[in-house]
Every structure is written in structure tokens, then in C-alpha cells.
Amino acid sequence: MPRGGKRDGAGKKKDTETNKTTHTKPLMLGKSERTRNWLAIVYPDSVPDNWRDIINKHHIQWVESPLHDKDINPKFTGDEDELDPVKKAHWHILMCFPSVKSYEQVIALTDALNAPRPAPCQSTQGTIRYMVHKDNPEKYQYEWKDIIAHNGADLETLCNSTHAEVMRIQKEIIAFIRYNDITEFEDLINYCIDEAETDWYNVIANKSTLFFRTLLTSRRNKAIKREACKNKIDMLQ
């Protein structure tokens, strides 16, 4: 997904013959020039006051991140007088078009927002998680409640895990259960709630409830049998 960067001339080159500013395609597009979901960054100090209305006029579903105004500039070491320790405030936006769009079509919209060049979205789930730095604990943690879904965009659907992602999360949960010797379903759910493990909770509650109930019951019964066997051996000694 796009990160903060230089605003002036980003993704542009000068046509020396006509003195016009033209856009170059981002290299990340490769041969896949059309896609439904696109990313952009907009800055409060350069975006038009009615920037949300500009997007809404296209009648697309889109998601707006919390205002990122506490991101630390990775280039700042404390010695540079000219660098600001905090990155320029910005919003990340995810635009979900009803049909595939080319770079040229999308940049017409982002130009109206005075935004840097757009980028194709590789993962709607990863994008929305990045909006709050869910997977980057070293960065400032923004609030999920401050993510805004526009024009009917469904965050739950956009964050839906793929089969591979569900399997990865299942393995994480199983490792946690084994390491912490969890045998009660309630303890597992309480952990997910208390520690805000949203992905774990979603997989357990909505996709794998029976699986984890069965696993925990099996572990509990195994522990009971092990204890009974141990007691029987002690009695024989």
C-alpha cells in the first residue's frame, strides 16, 4: 500500500516539447493494467475541502483511514534540524470500483484530490489492517472505530480472510492453545476479547467454532485420562 512520500512531482514527468506535466505508470502495475481496487493517499493541506464529495460523485464504495497524524518519520534520528520527527498528516483511502479500472482512469480521480499517484490494491484485508497499523506494533496504533466506510462499503466483507489466511490463523491459535495448555473454550474466547485479537475471534466464532470446541474437549478429556492413569499407578505403588 502507498506510504507517505514526496508530494511535488510524484509520479510525474515534464514533457519538454509541450511543457505539460504527464503521468508515468507506476512500475508495480506490471502487465496487469486493470483492477477493481485502488489505493491512494490524501493530505489535509492540499486536498480540496470537498474531497469526499468528489469521490462520492463517482458512486463507488470506498474506505477512509483514521487521520494518520502521529506517524514517525523513519529518517528522523534527532540530529537533523530540517526534518520533522512526525510525518505529514495524511489519510489512506481504499477505492472499490464495481468494475476493473485502468491507471489512467483512476488517476483522473486522484488528480482531482491533489493526491500522489494511485496504486493497485493487493489485499483489501491487509490495507484495512494497515490503516490502524494492526500488524505493525512498532508504529502508532490508530483506532478501528475511526475507520470510515463510505457508500455501503462493508468492512467485514473486505476483511474476510482467504482460505489460506484462515488456515494460518488456525495454526496460530492451536500453537497458543498447546503452549498455554488451554482446555476451556471460554478461556480462549476471553483471551481474544481481552487482547483484541480480532482475527482470532472471527475465525473461532464465525468459521471454526466446532473445530476448536472439539479440540479443547479432546484436550480436556485427555488431561482427565492422564490424571486418572497417574492416580491408578500411584495407588499400585
pLDDT digits (tens, 9 = 90+) for 217-230: 999 999 888 887 87
Average pLDDT, rounded, for the chain: 82
Band of the pLDDT at 206, cuts 50, 70, 90?
confident
Q: What percent of the chain has pLDDT over 70?
A: 81
- Between 85 and 117, the more confident residue is 117
pLDDT of residue 164: 77
> Tell me, which fold does domain 12-158 have in CATH?
Replication Protein E1; Chain: A, (3.40.1310)
pLDDT > 90? residue 197: no
Alpha-carbon 184 to chain mean position:
30
Which part of the chain has CATH 3.40.1310.30?
A: 12-158
CA 179 to chain centre: 28
Residue 237 has pLDDT above 80, yes or no: no
Q: Would you say residue 43 has pLDDT above 60?
A: yes
CA distances from 23 to 119, 130, 220 (A): 13, 27, 62
Q: Which amino acid is at 53?
A: D
Cell of 189: 474466547
Note the pLDDT of residue 202.
82
Cell of 162: 482467504
What is the total residue count of the chain? 237
The Cα 179–Cα 155 span in angstroms is 32
Residue 176 or 73, more confident: 176
| pLDDT given for residue 16 in this prediction | 36
What pTM was computed for the model?
A: 0.59
Q: CA 170, CA 132: separation in Å to the nearest integer? A: 23
